[in-house]
Amino acid sequence: MKKSEVLKPPSYCDGLMEWAGKHVLVTGGAGFIGSHLSAKLLSLGASVTVVDDLSAGDMGRVPKGVELIEGCITDTSSLSDAIQGSDAIFHLAAIASVPLCEADPAWSDKVNLQASLEIISSANCPVIFASSAAIYGEPIEIPIAENHPISPVGYYGQQKATIDANICSLDSQSTPACALRFFNVYGEGQDPSSQYSGVLSIFIDRASTGRQISIFGDGEQTRDFIHVSDVVQALLLTGNSLVESGVSSPAHASAFNICTGSPVTLNEVVSLISAHVEEEISVTYEDGRDGDIKHSSGDPTKLQSTFDWKPETSLSDGILSLFG
């Protein structure tokens, strides 16, 4: 083997070829991101089990060939057998609705915090945790790198931040684990009527059905939108590294931003959408909401340099695919 081959960083291909024959658990696998991940794992030869209580997920999203355990992650009996038989756990299940977390902090604490800690502590295999850009709160600098201060606003961000910090404090004697901090994920299959849905899918649904789009503020607020296919690639790459190398993986006890590093304004999003609808889009601007973050853009350099990852789907192409 040539020296250049030894030093070559891992690539997308490296992360996609190691799942054949693996038993993988995906919590929240009937949800938007989880169903995409489950389908990809299945196509790569993995045996996939999904645990989902279907409170936000849809049974119809679960690919044929995936075992579905209908139950909440707070129910140990629903999880124990699946955890013990797994080679990797992708922990995506959560109450991801900020209003729901604020309305019932005790329940969201039980689901988002306590159940997540239990999964990490009881797992005998690598855990890849779906963290969130919400842990950063109002940015003090843009773009946001992983060493940005953690200052979440609200229960959802606080609970994600606690699990994230727990993973980053793990040592070499612990379960291999990493945290992926998702920014604004979008793509096919995201239900625009769901309270969990992102702004982009809501805008497209309204524009394509001739309804008015409402923007809170002046529309110049920025967001970092990343396509679900690129998120799945990041999950597989970090997961594969943990499965292959355990606590020696550069992903262990670490956190990575999952973003593009290319923010766009909501007004620019509307312009991109307008190119795919026949009639002019009607937009109204309402007063900004308390707690809304004005600008959010991540720095993906850490993941790019560690795993040779980069987002492949441009926002323009991603939006186009939603009209297909």
Question: What CATH number should be reported for the domain holding residue 93?
Answer: 3.40.50.720
In a domain, 321, yes or no: no
In a domain, 3, yes or no: no
> Residue 236's domain spans which residues?
9-186+226-259+298-313
pLDDT tens, position by position, 19-54: 999 999 999 999 999 999 999 999 999 999 999 999
pLDDT tens, position by position, 286-320: 998 877 889 999 999 999 999 999 999 999 999 99
In a domain, 270, yes or no: no
Q: What's residue 279's pLDDT?
A: 86
Q: What's residue 195's pLDDT?
A: 62
In a domain, 215, yes or no: no
Q: Is the pLDDT confidence value at 281 over 60?
A: yes
H helix or E strand, kind and range, residue 69:
strand 67-70
One-letter amino acid for residue 42 of the chain:
L
Beta strands in 176-307 (DSSP E): 177-182, 184-186, 213-216, 222-223, 225-227, 254-258, 264-265, 283-286
Q: Is the pLDDT confidence value at 6 over 50?
A: no
Q: What's residue 10's pLDDT?
A: 40
Residue 178: strand pairing partners: 128, 254
Number of domains in the chain: 1
Residue 258: strand pairing partners: 182
In 108-137, which positions are buried (b, 16+ CB within 10 angstroms) versus exposed (e)? Answer: bbbbbbebbeebbeebebbbbbbbbbbbbb
pLDDT tens, position by position, 174-218: 999 999 999 999 999 998 877 667 889 999 999 999 999 999 999
Q: Which residue has the tokens 């991603």?
A: 318
32-43 vs 228-245: helix crossing angle, rounded to 10 = 60
In a domain, 93, yes or no: yes
CA distances to 108, 161, 269 from 118, in Å: 15, 16, 40
Q: What's residue 168's pLDDT?
A: 98
The mean pLDDT value of the chain amounts to 91
Q: What's residue 16's pLDDT?
A: 57
Tell me 269's DSSP state: H
R_g of the chain, CA atoms, integer Å: 19
In a domain, 272, yes or no: no
Categorize the per-residue pLDDT at 169 as very low, low, confident or very high, splitting at 50, 70 and 90: very high
Mean pLDDT of all residues in 126-154 = 96
In a domain, 163, yes or no: yes
In a domain, 199, yes or no: no
Q: What's residue 292's pLDDT?
A: 81
pLDDT tens, position by position, 50-86: 999 999 889 999 999 999 999 999 998 878 888 988 9
One-letter amino acid for residue 239 of the chain:
G
SS (H, E, C) 12-34: HHHHHCCCCCCEEEEECCCCHHH
- Residue 29 has a CB neighbour count (10 Å cut-off) of 31
Q: What's residue 2's pLDDT?
A: 34
Q: What's residue 83's pLDDT?
A: 93
Q: What's residue 82's pLDDT?
A: 86
Mean pLDDT of all residues in 160-172 = 97
| Tokens, residue 228 | 């679900």
